[in-house]
Amino acid sequence: MSNTKAIERRVLITGGASGFGLAIAETLLAQGAQIAIGDIDSDRLREAVQNLDKGGDLLSLELDVTSPVSAKAAVGACQETFGGLDTLINSAGVIHFAPLAEIRESDWDRVVDVDLKGPFLCSQAAAPLLCENGRRGRIVNIGSDAAKIGCPMILSYCAAKFGVVGLTKALAAELAPYEVTVNCVCPVGVSTTGMGQTVLDWKIGATGQKIDEILTGTAAGIPLKRNATVADVVNAVMFFLSDESAFLTGVALDVDGGLLSTMPVPGTKE
């Protein structure tokens, strides 16, 4: 693999003050890229800016991905500060646990608005600038294993993330004439992110198990016999930003240790 660098990239990362978004920002900044992190949590945003390595240009933006006005303002700020934009990482996300009978419309709307409408609005706002950059234009959406398989108790999250995969493929088709690629990374849960901790807390309450028991059980169910890490997800995103992925678009890549792609056979080694 060539040593493709992100130093020339101008990147907007939604949900950039925590989790995958923050880790992606850290990686790109270390390569000298120009990075804008957008987040609705102003306190977390300030903390992220204080902690990030200033090896590259860093812009922080209060961003509500559910607002078209806010999305357009964020893209405009990138254009003004960086002179353009060639990369969008849609990482902002929320999750809600409830059985079907107890899901409130407001909770459903919040998850779908952030997790699905958010990537749409930000992609819509960023597309004109991305298309100006031709083959360097990139959109990477953060999906989930719940974008590929139905999961109880998180109906709104599943619906939204399935939608993100569909949005990815439709955007890939529409932006292909401009040589902009659009791909999606679909990881299994990572317990060290904010959302991962939320999921872990729910599992503790639902099962009564201890954290170590839950993580051990989760790892045992993955063919590669370990839990996913933030680095696994960041590496997949960085691949989609590299020249090596230039002929890939509309891909929803499972970062799951083989969980959704394999099936154990009785009598074989597990």
Which residues are known to be catalytic? 157
As a whole number of angstroms, the distance between CA 200 and CA 190 comes to: 9
Strand, helix or coil for residue 128:
helix
Q: Within 13 A of 216's CA, how many CA atoms are on the CB side?
A: 5
Distances in Å between the Cα of 189 and the Cα atoms of 32, 126, 129, 182, 186 are 29, 28, 32, 22, 10
Residues 53, 266: contact at Cβ < 8 Å? no
The encoded tokens of residue 122 equal 């930000």
Bridge partners (DSSP) listed for residue 228: none
As a whole number of angstroms, the distance between CA 86 and CA 77 comes to: 14
Q: Which strands sit side by side in the sheet containing 58-62, from one edge to the other?
A: 58-62, 34-39, 10-14, 87-90, 138-142, 181-187, 252-255
Residues 90, 123: contact at Cβ < 8 Å? yes
The encoded tokens of residue 32 equal 């000298």
